[in-house]
């Protein structure tokens, strides 16, 4: 699936052909995960509103939740000021993380809140 040309020209893909995607939950505003997309994955996301990524380890496109059922309906897609990072704002079904936690950032706190 080709990416719309007017969108493609705005995105600065890395030399790998990928762009990092930050994923935020629409309801809770939590940062759910970070993944990567190539032009095809982004085009698939825009066309279907199912969050789609490119796996660097498997070297293949993946639709989030295709096997787990923990899909992401994409409410918004945004691009940052220098065009090299994408934000998906999603409605998350079930936990976002394959470990079963709500977000991929729940398990490992490196520095705790000094105002908590």
Residue of the chain from 1, 30, 63, 71 that contacts its own copies (CB under 8 A): 30
Indicate whether 5 belongs to the interface with its own copies (CB under 8 A): no
Q: Which of 80, 92, 94, 102 binds its own copies (CB under 8 A)?
A: 80
Q: Taking CB under 8 A as the rule, does residue 63 contact its own copies?
A: no
Q: 84-113: which residues touch its own copies (CB under 8 A)? A: 85-87, 89, 97-99, 101, 104-113
Residues 6+ apart with CB under 8 A from 12: 19, 82, 83, 84
CA 96 – CA 42 distance, rounded (Å): 19
69 or 81: CB nearest its own copies? 81
Contact flag: residue 74 with its own copies (CB under 8 A): yes
Pair 81, 10: CB distance under 8 Å? no
What distance in Å separates the CA atoms of residue 26 and residue 87, rounded to the nearest whole number? Answer: 11
- Can you tell me the distance from the alpha carbon of 27 to that of 69, in angstroms, rounded to the nearest whole number? 19
Nearest approach, Cβ of 26 to its own copies (angstroms)?
8
Q: Nearest to residue 3, comparing CAs of 57, 58, 61, 56? A: 61
Per CB under 8 A, residues contacting its own copies are 7, 10, 20, 22, 24, 28-31, 33-34, 45-46, 49, 74-83, 85-87, 89, 97-99, 101, 104-116
């Amino acid at each position: 699936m080709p990416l719309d040309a007017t969108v493609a020209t705005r995105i600065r893909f890395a030399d790998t052909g990928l762009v990092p995607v930050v994923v935020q939950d629409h309801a809770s505003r939590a940062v759910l995960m970070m993944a990567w997309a190539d032009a095809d994955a982004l085009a698939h996301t825009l066309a279907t509103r199912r969050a789609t990524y490119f796996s660097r380890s498997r070297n293949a496109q993946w639709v989030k939740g295709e096997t787990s059922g923990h899909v992401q309906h994409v409410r918004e897609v945004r691009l940052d000021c220098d065009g090299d990072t994408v934000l998906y704002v999603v409605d998350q079904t079930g936990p976002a993380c394959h470990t079963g936690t709500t977000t991929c950032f729940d398990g490992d706190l490196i520095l705790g809140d000094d105002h908590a």
